[in-house]
Amino acid sequence: MAFGSFDNKGGGQTLSEINMVPLIDVMLVLLVIFIVTAPLLSHSIKINVPQASSQPVEQRPDAIDLAIDGTGQVFWNESPVGLEALPELMAEQARKDPQPNLHIRADLDTRYEVLAKVMAGAKQAGLQKVGFVTRPSEKGLESAHASSGN
């Protein structure tokens, strides 16, 4: 956008300068507004609130140890339990707040069918935190890969 002059001295030349006065005026108005409102934002009412000494309640979820041996026998916290009693026990634990963690330890010879029934029962009961307990191999990961041919 070209600006021309209204006097006859300039001839037909255009003026290519930006008029800074309106920009400076806007900046000064904003500065005044911020100077006036800044103390109002930091003003607070002094209130003497009562002091209470309380410790936060830390609720740590319990851990349920569910072991399955090679014959399919299920143990709930080291006590033998039948598969038919598991849904009731799991539903009772699922209603607790916070919900306990279910740690499943299965024998190497455990049938997958028994393990699948236990996991399906935990899901139907509403248990959210289910984990498997394993023991690390003595050989290590690298020797296990080498012996399997991979």
Structural tokens at position 89: 């026990």
Residue 132 tokens read as 């498997």
CATH number of 63-132: 3.30.420.270
- 12-63 pLDDT per residue, tens: 677 678 888 999 999 999 999 999 888 777 766 777 777 777 777 676 768 8
Domain segments of the chain as ranges:
12-42, 63-132
Contacts for 55-62: CB closer than 8 Å, 24+ residues apart: 59/97, 59/98, 60/98, 61/98, 61/99, 61/100, 61/101, 61/129, 62/96, 62/100, 62/101
Higher-confidence position of 141 and 13: 13
- Nearest-CA neighbor of 77 among 98, 55, 105, 35? 105
Q: 67-114, pLDDT tens digit by residue?
A: 999 888 999 998 999 888 888 999 998 888 888 899 999 888 888 888
Q: What is the largest CA-CA distance in the chain?
A: 110
What's the DSSP call for residue 85? G
Beta partners for residue 63, in sequence order? 101
Q: What is the pLDDT of residues 115-130, one digit of tens each?
A: 888 889 999 999 888 8
